[in-house]
Amino acid sequence: MPSSSLPPRGARRALIVGSGISGLAAALSLHRAGWQPLIIERAPGRRTNGYFVRFNGAGYTAAERLGILDSLPDRRDPEGRMFEVDSRGRLTPGLAFPEQVNGTPMRMLLRSDLERVLYEAVQDLVEIRYGTGPAAITQDRDHVTMTLTDGSVESADLLIGADGVHSTVRSLVFGPEDLYRKDFDHVVAACAMDEPLPGMREGDALVATAPGRSAWINSYRDHPPVAFLLYRTPWPAAEIRKQPASALRQAFADFGGDIVPAMLDAMDGSESVLFDQVSQIHLNRWSQGRVVLLGDSAWCMTLHSGQGSGMGIAGAELLARLLTEGGSLSAALGTWEQKLRPLVTRHQKEALRMRHFFMPANQLGYLARRGFIRATNTPVGSKLTKVLMSAHPRTLA
C-alpha cells in the first residue's frame, strides 16, 4: 500500500491499543515528539500486578533518554542472598545476578514498577480510554480508522498495536494468532505472596528446579515476595484451560520440600494469578500500511529472555525518534524495523537457550545446570560470569 508523507507536526495523531509497558512508552515517546496519542485499553482499569523484571541493555538506555530512569526503583537488597533448593528442601548458594549486563547497569524491579512510572509520566498528557477495544480496522492512503467495541470510531495517522501476545490488532490486520505463535511446551504461573517464607529475609531469592519443573521466589525492597512456577506439559493450550490451583498442585506434587507447597497456598488465595502458556511471536513484518505492532504483539520473546519489557520501551522510543525525521511513514517504519529486528532476533534466540537454565528439560540438563552454578560460586567462575554478562553493549543508536 502506498503511503504519503506524514502530515504537519501539529496534526499527527496516533491510536495506541494497549496500556501496558509498550503502549505507555509509545504514548510518552510520541507525545514528546509532538504527536497526539490516544490509548485504548480493553481492561476496565489500570493493572498493577506483575512478576520480576531484569532491566538492562537497550531498554535501560531508552528509559534514560525518556527521563524516567531515575524514577525506576531497584528492588534488590545489597544484602540479599540467592539460594538453590534441592529436592529435600536443603539450601545451597545460587547464581547471583551481576551489576552490569548487556553494557548497562542492571536493575531488578517489577513489571508494575515500570507500568506505574510510565503511567505517572503520561496520565496528565494523554487520554486513556478504558473498557473498550478494537472491533474492526480499515485504512487508506492517508488515515487508519478503528471501530471500537463500544461502537465509537476513531481515525488517526498511525495505529500501534501494543496489546500483548494475544493481540487483537494483530489478528485483525495480520491474521490469526496461530500463524505467528510458536509455543514452548511450558506453562507459567506467578503471583504475589502475602508474606515471606519462614527464615527468608528481604532481598532473598530461592530457586528449586528439577527436570520439567521450576519454582522461584524473589523478594524485594518494600514489596511482598513474588512466587513464580514453570512446568513442562505436552499440551500447554489445554493445560491453561484448567483451574490454576488444581493444575499446579498436580504438576508440583512432592516437589521443593516445604517451599513449593507454601507457594501453591499463596496462589490458591491470590486474587490475581498469571497462568498462561509460554510462546514467542514471529512475523516477517511488524507493520502493514499505517498499522504497526510493538512489544509482545510483534515479537514476544518470552520471560526466558529477560528483555521483553525493556525492548518494548526501546522499540517505542526508537519509533518516535524516527517518526520525527520527516519523509514517508513507510520509510520510517522500514528503518525502525531494520534497526530493531537484529536485536530482537538475538534475544529470541537467547531465550531458546535460557529456557534450559530456568527449567532443565531432562536429568542431563539438570546436572549441567547444577554444575554451572557451582562453578560460578568459585572465585574464577564468578569473575568469568561477570565478564560474559557485561560484554557486548546492546543499545539502539
What is the Cα 104 distance to its own chain's centre? 18
Closest CA to 137 of 121, 113, 153: 153
pLDDT at 3: 37
pLDDT at 196: 74
What is the Cα–Cα distance from 305 to 303, expressed in whole angstroms?
5
pLDDT at 1: 34
The 8 Å CB, 24+ separation contacts for 169-177 are 169/17, 169/134, 169/137, 169/291, 169/293, 169/297, 170/281, 170/283, 170/293, 170/297, 170/298, 172/134, 172/136, 172/137, 173/137, 173/288, 173/291, 174/283, 174/288, 174/293
Quick one: which H or E segment has residue 16?
strand 13-17
DSSP 8-class letter at 324: T
Low-confidence ranges of the chain (pLDDT < 70): 1-11, 49-50, 87-88, 256, 379-397
Cell 526466558, located at residue: 304
CA distances (Å), origin 374, targets 78, 185, 360, 371, 384: 21, 28, 16, 5, 13
Give yes or no for a contact between 98 and 389, defined as CB atoms under 8 angstroms apart. yes
pLDDT digits (tens, 9 = 90+) for 55-105: 888 999 999 999 999 999 888 877 778 888 876 677 888 877 777 777 788
Does the 9-75+110-181+281-358 domain belong in CATH 3.50.50.60?
Answer: yes
pLDDT at 378: 74
pLDDT at 393: 47
Q: Round the CA-based radius of gyration of the chain to a whole number and report it.
A: 21
CA distances (Å), origin 226, targets 194, 231, 328: 9, 17, 45
Q: Which three cell numbers stand for residue 140?
A: 487508506
Q: Which amino acid is at 110?
A: L
pLDDT at 312: 96
What is the Cα–Cα distance from 68 to 62, expressed in whole angstroms?
9
What is the Cα–Cα distance from 337 to 301, expressed in whole angstroms?
16
Based on the number of CB atoms within 10 Å of its own CB, is 303 exposed (0-12), middle (13-18) or buried (19 or more)?
buried
What is the Cα–Cα distance from 241 to 297, expressed in whole angstroms?
22
pLDDT at 174: 97
CA dihedral 274→280→283→286, nearest 10 degrees, is 50
Coil, helix or strand at residue 59:
helix
CATH number for the domain running over 183-279+359-390: 3.30.9.30
Q: Which three cell numbers stand for residue 2?
A: 502506498
Domain 9-75+110-181+281-358 and domain 183-279+359-390, same fold? Reply is: no
Q: Which amino acid is at 19?
A: S
Instruction: State the pTM of this model.
Output: 0.89
DSSP assignments along 250-306, one per residue: HHTTT-STTHHHHHHHHHHH-S--EEEEEEEE--S-SEETTEEE-THHHH---GGGS
Give yes or no for a contact between 307 and 57, defined as CB atoms under 8 angstroms apart. yes
The ranges assigned to domains in the chain are 9-75+110-181+281-358, 183-279+359-390
